[in-house]
Amino acid sequence: MSQHRVIVVGGGLAGLAAAVRIAEAGTHVDLFSLVPVKRSHSVCAQGGINACNEVARQQGYSEYEHFDETIYGGDFLADQHPVLEMANWAPRIIDLLDRMGVPFNRTGEGNRDLRLFGGSLFKRTHFAGATTGQQLIYALDEQVRRYESEGKVFKHEFQEFLWPVMEQGRCVGIVAQDMRTMHIRAFRADAVIMATGGCGLVFGKSTNSIICTGAAAARCFRAGAWYGNPEMIQVHPTAIPGADKLRLMSESARGEGGRVWVPRKAKDPRAPKDIPESERWYFLEEKYPAYGNIVPRDIATREIFDVCVNQGMGVYGENQVYLDLTHKDPEYLTRKLGGILEIYEKFVGEDPRFTPMKIFPAVHYSMGGLWTTYTKGSYNPQTALTKHKSGSPAPIDAKVGQGMQLGAVNNSMTNIPGLYAFGEVNFAYHGANRLGANALLSCIFDGLFCGVSVLNFIRNEAPGKNPAVDLPAGAYDAVVQQETAKMKHLLDGAKPANQDASTNPYMIGKELGEEMTAACTVVRTEARLKQCLGKLAELKDRYSRLRLADGASWTNQSFGYARSVGDMLVLAEAIALGALERRESRGAHYRSDHTGRDDGNFMKTTLARHANGVTAVEFVPIDASLILPTARTYGKKDSSPNAAAAPAMASAAS
Amino acid sequence: MTATAQTPRRTATPDRTVTFRIKRCDGPGKPSYWQDFRVKVPKNSNVISCLQQIAAEPVTAGGERVTPVVWDSGCLEEVCGACTMVINGKVRQSCSCLIDDYAPADGDVITLEPMSKFPVVRDLWVDRSRLFHNLARIKAWVPIDGTYDLGAGPKETPASQATHYVLSTCMSCGCCLEACPQFNLEEDRDQWDSSFIGAHAISQARLFNAHPTGSELKPDRLDVLMGEGGVNDCGNAQNCVQVCPKHIPLTESIASIGRQVTLHAISKFFRG
């Protein structure tokens, strides 16, 4: 083993994949996580993981088409080369997971089964029941446990990342706090990988786990890391409303034949089974005959939102539509979707195999994140090609290294040398909208592919000559002092008698979530976003006078939450600012006062920077040299509740 | 899920107030004490949403302002295992515990306690590291050759996948250990390797022994499981299988590993 150490912050798919890759190369990994890594938010991913496969390939599909779908699905906002490399790697990643023992669903012959997912006409989604994320993270958790047993990985669980440590212009470690003992200390490293996921809690209730505050990313942002496309927040079309969170109903429910509908008569009081077929409005199937219910997420979300909020056609007059699987064989549903249907039954009390589910959109995923860079690979056509025609031969094969150069030290590195961002916490792959079942892929791809870049960085760049272990203690001590002072400030005067709601962290967090959900989700306008920024300023002011009810110096959970609220406020401001300045509509970002896509001004990355407490955004060019942008319509047609009954649902290309 | 349409739930009283009787503890070595909190429960409430209300405004039923209650939680969809606690005397995840089911009438009481088989960190939060330690003991992984591109894994029949998938849904929540009479609180780490390993780990050994590549480590796993604290310490109470939220056939796994251990012991005897 070398004397080098790498810190991985976050034990979800991206973090674990990175840890495995780096540990197997003989470099020591310190893995930090708020929770035992097996409980990370990746467990919530349900539907599957996309990759070109042999069946689809023989029907005309290719890695290149997967790449093209991802760019088109993301509404041409992503830099294109990294996406190409990810699509080319996808089949290899599935094979690796298969070797690790992931119980992928199987066909009669014992091959990996496939399902249809949003944004594709080919079956290219691999799955393990309806808990694919859980199964993938368990496989990686097991591999990490193996390296932990061999002493190559050390897990620091229940440790909260507080701040990166910078010295000589590069990141040389972190400061973290034990959530139980409250002890704050510095950890040295030759490179730090942030793999800390999304920021759903900024919106209060979302489909995210309770730990997905985005605080870790916000702290890097505050420390000088750039943030890309903060306004690109995916609102998932189908979630189950709840008092504590909005639980995801996987896109696979639609992929397996689920039909979205409302009664053609507003506020129809009848039970769904009593409404005949001709009096049901299958609005997605009517408006999008080619894709039907499997249109991408932002489109499905806006259509559901429009039907309920603008047209007042929601089921029983409330903000909800039916997601109906009752026409399918119950045994088939149990086999293919058992896990997610069980969640619905458990939390709503109705069996979706016999009663249509009632669902509504919820904040789900952050396409935006810490800004990262890369080195282009060998595929650089003289002119960008027109959009790929589905099922036609691919212009290139799937050789590794065409999209990104394998091992280049800057792949998925932030603007701070030595500080990397992997998985949902970066902005790299999904543009303005993520396709279903591409998230798990991007996490594992980052870990495996860019993990090699981290290894090369510590060998060949500054840490090679000047490892962190030899650096002076000054920079580390300074950050420990900064964080200790921050804690003292928050805990000062904390006592149960504090009861002013305006300075209660939970109230500030709740109001933040409500405001962001109202102003920054499905439909955005300049006026509302400006109002939102005003509200954020008010919340920041109240936050500065925050009073805690618990002053304990042992396992003080409300203190941890309160500190995160301060970071969420910073991230919220970047989201609202990006949404305000992006005066167009693209992917998940829909401005009712600027409904068209404006490639001339905004086919650019929103780059947010934070300095001296002030966030500013600008738009910087992207590299779109592989595919020319086209209108992203998914073949939309007109439809209204009074039109004739819907045509049959479009079938897959298979 | 059963294959027939479900029976409707009892109708809960709207806008009711429910009392949470919570067993609290300020930290390791500190005494436990009980506090009552009255919570007004909106529609679709569960134990987590009520704990969130208590955290935001921690006032006891007697009107005393106290510190917020501490608890562990994560996904809130019963797939991460974090929020496991003892509710009305029975271990389960608190996120999937619906108030409409547990306290349908005004004034109903719900008791919350931390799991008793693991050391308390604070209030309802316990330290379950022993559970993960036991997974390492039985080498619960597939020993692959590394992350290089070496082609696909072995083919598998749908029937075999169905069996393995269920075993693989174990979220390490610890319900089976809380309910087990043979698995007891053990704060001394040095005793962990000789104390009962628990149904979850035995079931994972079955999963990995059945995998073509995973079976490479089968002798190592069975060595551990035939030793002190291994499968023979199971008292056959069968509580584990009844409390498992993922309906994992834990007793089948214990029986299967029992047979494997017997064969392993015989084969070791003849090999000397």
What is the DSSP code string of A319-385?
S-EEEE-TTS-HHHHHHHHHHHHHHHHHHHSS-TTTS-EEEEEEEEEES-EE--B--B-S---SSPB
Residue among B49, B58, B68 minimizing CB distance to A244: B49
Chain B residues touching A351 at Cβ < 8 A: 1, 5-6
The predicted structure's pLDDT at residue A643: 55
Q: What is the mean pLDDT of residues A469-478?
A: 97
Nearest CA in chain A to B6: A351
Using the predicted structure, report yes or no on whether residue B261 has a pLDDT greater than 80. Answer: yes
Best residue of B15, B147, B221 to probe chain A, by most A CBs closer than 10 Å = B147
| Rounded distance between C-alpha atoms, residue A350 and residue A358, angstroms | 10
- pLDDT per residue as tens digits for the range B47-86: 999 999 999 999 999 999 999 999 999 999 999 999 999 9
> A539-570: string of b/e by CB count within 10 Å (b at 16+)?
bbebbeebbbbbbbeebbbbbbbbbbbbbbbb
Q: How near does any CA of chain A get to the CA of B114, in Å? A: 15
pLDDT exceeds cutoff 60 at B9: no
Domain boundaries along the sequence of chain A: 5-232+367-470, 236-362, 474-600
> From CA B43, how far away is CA B15, in angstroms rounded?
8
The verdict on domain A5-232+367-470 having CATH code 3.50.50.60 is: yes
B203 to chain A, minimum CA–CA distance in Å?
Answer: 15
Q: How confident is the model at residue A242 (pLDDT cuts 50, 70, 90)?
A: confident
Best probe of the A interface among B120, B141, B213, by most A CBs < 10 A, is B141
Give the distance from CA A175 to its chain's centroid: 25
Question: Where do the domains of chain B lie, and which CATH numbers do they carry?
Answer: 17-126 (3.10.20.30), 129-143+156-271 (1.10.1060.10)
- Asked whether the beta carbons of residue A209 and residue B135 sit closer than 8 angstroms, the reply is no
Mean pLDDT value of segment A223-245: 95
Mean pLDDT within A304-322: 93
pLDDT band at A313 (very low <50, low <70, confident <90, very high): very high
The pLDDT score that the predictor gives to residue A339 is 80
Return the pLDDT at B272: 67
Burial of B8 (0-12, 13-18, 19+ CB in 10 A): exposed
Cβ atoms of A355 and B1 closer than 8 Å: no
The mean per-residue pLDDT over the stretch A9-16 comes to 98
Above 70 in pLDDT, residue A382?
yes
CB contact under 8 A, A558 and B68: yes
pLDDT in tens, A594-604: 999 999 999 99
CA-based nearest residue to A368, from A441, A443, A448, A434: A434
Minimum-distance CB partner of B161 among A95, A106, A243 = A106
Residue B96 has pLDDT above 60, yes or no: yes
Residues B118, B141: Cα–Cα separation, whole Å: 24
- Test B80 with A43 for CB contact under 8 angstroms: yes
- The pLDDT of residue A636 is 83
Average pLDDT over residues A494-516: 92
Buried b (16+ CB within 10 A) or exposed e, A335-355: ebbbbbbbbbbbbbebbbbeb
Q: In B, which residues are within 8 Å of A210 by CB distance?
A: 73-76
- Residues from chain B that touch A211, judged by Cβ atoms under 8 A, are 74
- According to the model, what pLDDT value does residue A654 have? 28
Q: B118 vs chain A: nearest CA distance in angstroms?
A: 15
Structure confidence at residue B184 (pLDDT): 98
| B76 to A134: CB separation less than 8 angstroms, yes or no | no
Could you tell me what percent of chain A has a pLDDT over 70?
98
- Region of poorest pLDDT, from A108-112, A650-654, B25-29, B144-148: A650-654
Contact A145 B135 (CB under 8 A): yes
B55-87 burial: b if 16+ Cβ within 10 Å, else e: bbbbeeeeeeebbbbbbbbbbbbbbbbbbbbbb
Highest mean pLDDT among A1-10, A256-265, A331-340: A256-265
* Catalytic positions of A: 297
Contact B98 A142 (CB under 8 A): no
In 3-state terms, what secondary structure has residue A615?
strand
Minimum Cα–Cα distance from B158: chain A residue: A106
The domain A474-600 having CATH identifier 1.20.58.100: the answer here is yes
Look at residues A169, A61, A81 and name the one whose alpha carbon lies nearest to residue A124. A61
SS (H, E, C) A198-248: CCHHHHCCCCCCCCCCCHHHHHHHHCCCCEECCCCEEEEEEEECCCCCCEE
Q: In chain B, which residues have their Cβ closer than 8 Å to the Cβ of A100?
A: 142, 144, 153
| Other residues' Cβ atoms within 10 Å of the Cβ of residue A650 | 16
- What confidence tens digit (pLDDT) does each residue in A178-226 have? 999 999 999 999 999 999 999 999 999 999 999 999 999 999 999 999 9
Comparing alpha-carbon positions, the chain B residue that sits nearest to A156 is: B129
Q: Between chains, do A210 and B74 touch, taking CB under 8 Å as contact? A: yes
Angle at A15 between CA A207 and CA A608, to 5 degrees: 70
Residues of A in contact with B217 (CB under 8 A): none
Angle at A181 between CA B127 and CA A194, to 5 degrees: 85
| DSSP, residue by residue, A127-184 | -STT-HHHHHHHHHHHHHHHHHHTTSEEEEETEEEEEEEEETTEEEEEEEEETTT--E
Which of A44, A354, A506 lies closest to B56 in CB terms?
A: A506
Q: How confident is the model at residue A517 (pLDDT cuts 50, 70, 90)?
A: very high
The yes-or-no verdict on residue A487 having pLDDT over 90 is yes
CATH of domain A236-362: 3.90.700.10
pLDDT at A224: 98
Q: What is the four-CA torsion angle of A173, A177, A183, A188, rounded to 10 degrees?
A: -10
C-alpha–C-alpha distance, residues A471 and A182, integer Å: 26
Q: Predicted confidence band at A308 (pLDDT cuts at 50, 70, 90)?
A: very high
Contacts of B205 in chain A (CB under 8 A): none
Distances (CA, A) of B58 to A35, A273, A464, B46, B86: 25, 45, 53, 17, 21
| Residue of B237, B172, B264, B258 lying closest to A43 (CA atoms) | B172
Nearest to B44 among A36, A243, A504 (CB): A243
Report ipTM (2 d.p.): 0.96
Q: Which of B49, B149, B155 sits opposite A92 (nearest CB)?
A: B149
For A62, A279, A358, the CA distances from A646, given in Å and listed in that order, are: 32, 10, 20
Residue B14 pLDDT grade (very low, low, confident, very high; cuts 50, 70, 90): confident
Residues found in chain B: 272
For residues A111 and A114, what is the distance between their CA atoms, to the nearest angstrom?
Answer: 9
* Chain-chain contact of B158 with A497 (C-beta, under 8 angstroms): no
User: Would the pLDDT of B8 be above 80?
Assistant: no
Question: Which chain A residue has its CA at the smallest distance from B41's CA?
Answer: A243
User: CB within 8 A of B187, min separation 6: which ones?
Assistant: B119
pLDDT for position A646 = 39
- Which chain A residues touch B149 with a CB distance below 8 Å? 92, 95-96
A374 pLDDT higher than 70? yes
Q: What is the pLDDT of residue A36?
A: 98
Share of chain B above pLDDT 90, in %: 91
Angle subtended at Cα A406 by Cα A402 and Cα A410, rounded to the nearest 5 degrees: 110
Mean pLDDT of A235-257: 91
pLDDT tens-digit map of A405-446:
999 999 999 999 999 999 999 999 999 999 999 999 999 999
- Euclidean distance between CA atoms B216 and B236, whole angstroms: 29
Kindly report the nearest CA distance between residue B263 and chain A, in angstroms: 25
| Nearest residue, CB atoms, B44 vs list A109, A241, A334 | A241
Task: List, for residues A599-643, the tens digit of each pLDDT value.
Answer: 999 999 999 999 999 999 999 999 999 999 999 988 888 888 875
Find the helix or strand (DSSP H, E) in which A607 lies: strand A604-611
Residue B5 has pLDDT above 80, yes or no: no
Residue B216 C-alpha, separation from nearest chain A C-alpha, in angstroms: 13
Q: Name the minimum distance, in Å, from the CA of B247 to any CA of chain A.
A: 12
Angle at A635 between CA A629 and CA A640, to 5 degrees: 135
Which chain A residues contact residue B213 at CB under 8 A?
99, 101
Question: In the structure, what pLDDT confidence band is assigned to residue B43 with cuts at 50, 70 and 90?
Answer: confident
Is a pLDDT exceeding 50 seen at residue B117? yes
Structure-token match 């306008």, residue found: A525
Contact across the interface for B147 and A557, Cβ inside 8 Å: no
Chain B residues within 8 A of A139 when measuring between CB atoms:
142
The C-alpha atoms of residue A170 and residue B38 are separated, in whole angstroms, by: 52
Pick the residue from chain B with its C-alpha nearest to A104: B161
